[in-house]
Structure 1
Amino acid sequence: MSSPTVAAPRALVAIATDRIDRHGHSAHAAFHGYVRAVAEASGALPLLLPSDAAVLDAGSLAASVDGVLLTGSPSNVDPTRYDAAPPHAGMQLDRDRDAAILPLLPALVAAGVPVLAVCRGFQELNVAYGGTLEPAVHAQPGRLDHREGDHSRPVPRWYDDSHAIHIAPGGRLARIAGVDQAMVNSLHHQGVERLGDGLRVEATAPDGLVEAFSISAAPQFTLAVQWHPEMRIDDSAFCRSIFAAFGEACRERRQQRMRHAAQL
């Protein structure tokens, strides 16, 4: 009898989670769209990363995973994390996630871990590198309204294309996309006020708002996007290509980890 075929192990991608209440229990949650995009478009194995600073350390994580996906969320980064005014009443926060994720990011990037950041994750990465956020982009003169709009629409419609972006020539996103403009969805009310240290603008909206950036000094894949490509992997080649490029980087990282382990 022939032995069953065993598939080659996939790259491991840690997906940031929100800290939520679930029937009176503290829980960790991520939307399925991120799990599916990592599995299907990146070709990697998705693993949920708990938002608990007490159980995480960058060294163990960098030694164990091949990529990190920072997800979007209904919550905002606490403004006190970037020395802004305290949050206004009603602002949805996730201080557990702030405490767990923000301190990890520079160390993971320095260790060579590929990072893809989406929406809140985009904002987290900016804050982790010393940047600041504008809490209400739509209220600023000359800015577009980047919010998702009518909530009575079916949820998939929230992720329809909303506006164009201009992709900076010669950057990481330009190499992935192969074009200088693309259409993206828009579901955020916060945005970059000041870009963090060492971050490179990869795309802007028509109103000049930063829509994507990378980390200049990082040789590995790093990309943060303000829109939600995970919800358009079925009908947008542009969005799917972002996750495909991330997956390729994660596979390269896995090969490096395996070679290093074999030498020990």
Structure 2
Amino acid sequence: MKPLIGISTYLDHASWGVWSMGAALLPAAYHTHVQRAGAAAFLLPPDAAEYAAQTVSRLDALVIAGGADVDPVRYGAAPDPRTGPPARERDTWESALIHAAIAQGVPLLGICRGMQLLNVALGGTLQQHLDGHTGGVGVLGTHTVKPVPGTRYAALVPEAADVPTYHHQAVAVLAPGLTVSAHAEDGTVEAVELDGGWVLGVQWHPEMGDDLRVARALVAAARERAAQRTGQRGAEDGGRLGE
């Protein structure tokens, strides 16, 4: 059975067919990337933070997708004029998902905004604007990412690699417990990971490329999580039968 990986989505206005209304959106590249790596994808629209732990408990792994800039209020900063409009409902929901995944030992991958929110959720801050990490408005750029030897990411991708990128914010102060695992050539933090457990954030968009190494590692961790959950259920059922 395929492991189940939840992917966060966002609320926006969309048009399709004869309809034009609010919708839970996610570029198809996210779920197809997860599926190509060998997992089943489950899309997670924003919900009340109180339901995050319950939601995560049903997953084998979690992806926090890219999107709008994180609200600077969350890291004690005034908005830069170049910072985009906040998505506060999504910030709240995804922060709760991140904390729940870490608490429950559920493998977690943060992509672009997802990596930034991981850093903020754990107590770090962001640089609100930098240039050179897009190909223009609505156009992906490409740049080289260099792994930090000895990190989880370096074990997955040991060489410098060109990656698809589209962001104008980045990690400023690194959150406690996180380790930098890759840099761009200009020094920008491009990947972070949590000490202990399978928690990785990447600043680029792996779903827009053909390299499946990170996604396959997430799926492998998800399979291990699924096996653990199956074993726990079996032990609980056996205990009840013995009562």
The one-letter code of the counterpart of 1:228 is H
1:101 and 2:97 correspond:
no
Corresponding position of 1:46: 41
The one-letter code of the counterpart of 1:37 is H
1:18 and 2:10 correspond:
yes
Change (3 A) 1:14 1:21: same
Alignment match of 2:73 (pick from 80, 92, 97): 80
SS at match of 1:194: coil
Corresponding position of 2:232: 260
Corresponding position of 2:133: 146
The one-letter code of the counterpart of 1:177 is V
Higher strand share: 2
Q: Which consecutive residues of structure 1, in runs of 5 or more, have no partner in the other structure?
A: 1-8, 139-144, 234-238
Alignment match of 1:248 (pick from 198, 205, 220): 220
Identity of aligned residues (%): 38
1:65 and 2:59 correspond:
yes
TM-score normalised according to structure 2 size: 0.89
Query: 1:65 Cα deviation (Å)?
Result: 0.5
Q: Distance in 1 between matches of 2:144 and 2:80?
A: 30
SS at match of 1:131: coil
Between 49-58 and 195-204, report the one with greater CA deviation.
Answer: 49-58
The one-letter code of the counterpart of 1:259 is G
Q: Distance in 1 between matches of 2:158 and 2:185?
A: 19
The Cα offsets for residues 189-227 of structure 1, whole Å up to 9 and x where unpaired, read as 0111111111000001111110001001x22x2111000
Change (3 A) 1:54 1:201: closer
Number of residues paired by the alignment?
A: 232
SS at match of 1:72: coil
Corresponding position of 1:211: 190
The one-letter code of the counterpart of 1:148 is G
Query: 1:34 Cα deviation (Å)?
Result: 0.5
Moved over 3 A (4+): 22-26, 86-90
SS at match of 1:185: strand
Corresponding position of 1:229: 206
Q: Distance in 1 between matches of 2:80 and 2:12?
A: 19
Q: Is the 8 A contact 1:148 1:188 kept in 2?
A: no
TM-score normalised according to structure 1 size: 0.82
RMSD between superposed Cα atoms in Å: 1.8
The Cα offsets for residues 62-111 of structure 1, whole Å up to 9 and x where unpaired, read as 321000001111x1111111111036487232111011111231231121
The Cα offsets for residues 175-196 of structure 1, whole Å up to 9 and x where unpaired, read as 11132x1112221001111111
SS at match of 2:135: coil
Change (3 A) 1:27 1:84: same
Corresponding position of 1:29: 25
Corresponding position of 1:165: 145
SS at match of 1:137: coil
